[in-house]
């Protein structure tokens, strides 16, 4: 796509927003002073990308909610760091291990915020750094709650980084199912051989998983036993951040009352 075509697409999007409804090719052509053929071609590209829709009954175009979804993600990221900061500090004080706040971007995690451990030997990452989502705890905590397309893309990129990296699609799918069920993700040295991690998903006010929080450290300290022991605290931290973002956790389902028995139960009495 040329720069001019991209600019035409952006101008079309702006016009559709400002016109606040469905628009025809002729209207947009007049508004933007572009040939109808150019407008139609760019509109069809927007439809193909999921940013616009065409009403077959009228031939008119309107925007989808795709832009709103992207904007919501951006707003969540902007608000996330200051909201999460006190909870990250508390988690760091509790474990003295490196704490990460991560978001997902095209199959990779981006570290939005990091609190380094004060230990002389610690997990080292940097704000803005990236890692494959399928290999780190925060990445798996995020990936587990994505759609099938995102998971399929992650599966297509599986490659070994250490001896424990999950490279079998079935194993990754099973692991993501477990994370969805249990609400906690683990990294057993799958990105860096000597670094392990524990993470849980963070939800926004709509209940969408938008980030993950976790701890990581050398495998000599973050043993499997310590990882399991830390899971409840990491999950509680994720819930606290989610609450501050406006998420209201649904109540646990009420216990079902005993079912009425329509027939008497016969009990064998020993003689």
Q: How far apart are CA 3 and CA 8, in angstroms?
A: 9
- pLDDT (tens digit, 9 = 90+) per residue, 43-54? 888 888 888 888
- CA angle at 244 for the pair 136 and 105, rounded to the nearest 5°: 35
How would you class 217 by CB atoms within 10 Å of its CB: exposed for 0-12, middle for 13-18, buried for 19 or more? Answer: buried
Model pLDDT, residue 119:
65
Residue ranges matching CATH 3.30.450.40 in the chain: 70-244
Low-confidence ranges of the chain (pLDDT < 50): 260-271
At residue 74, the pLDDT reads 62
CATH number attached to the domain at 3-64: 1.10.10.10
Could you name the CATH architecture of 70-244? 2-Layer Sandwich (3.30)
Residues of the chain with CATH 1.10.10.10: 3-64
* Burial of 125 (C-beta count, 10 Å sphere; 0-12/13-18/19+): buried
- Does pTM top 0.75 for this prediction? no
Closest by CA position to 217, among listed 146, 135, 122: 122
At 75-115, the pLDDT tens digits run 555 578 899 999 999 999 888 889 999 998 878 898 888 88
């Amino acid at each position: 796509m040329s720069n001019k075509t991209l600019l035409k697409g952006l101008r079309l999007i702006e016009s559709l927003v400002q016109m606040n409804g469905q628009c025809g090719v002729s209207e947009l052509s007049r508004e933007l002073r572009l040939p109808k053929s150019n407008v139609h071609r760019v509109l069809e590209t927007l439809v193909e990308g999921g940013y616009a829709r065409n009403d077959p009954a009228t031939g008119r175009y309107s925007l989808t909610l795709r832009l709103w979804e992207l904007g919501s993600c951006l707003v969540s990221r902007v608000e996330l760091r200051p909201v999460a900061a006190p909870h990250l500090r508390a988690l760091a004080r509790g474990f003295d291990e490196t704490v990460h706040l991560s978001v997902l971007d095209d199959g990779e995690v981006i570290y939005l915020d990091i609190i380094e451990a004060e230990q002389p030997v610690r997990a080292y990452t940097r704000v803005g750094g990236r890692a494959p989502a399928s290999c780190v705890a925060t990445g798996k905590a995020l990936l587990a709650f994505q759609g099938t397309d995102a998971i399929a893309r992650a599966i297509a990129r599986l490659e070994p980084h250490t001896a424990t990296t999950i490279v079998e699609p079935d194993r990754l799918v099973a692991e993501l199912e477990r994370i969805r069920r249990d609400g906690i993700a683990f990294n057993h040295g799958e990105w860096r051989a000597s670094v392990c991690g524990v993470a849980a998903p963070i939800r926004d006010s709509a209940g969408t998983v938008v980030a993950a929080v976790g701890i990581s450290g050398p495998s000599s300290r973050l043993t499997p036993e310590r990882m399991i022991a830390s899971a409840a605290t990491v999950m509680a931290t994720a819930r606290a951040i989610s609450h501050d973002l406006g998420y209201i956790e649904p109540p646990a389902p009420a216990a079902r009352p005993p079912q009425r028995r329509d027939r008497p139960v016969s009990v064998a009495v020993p003689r």
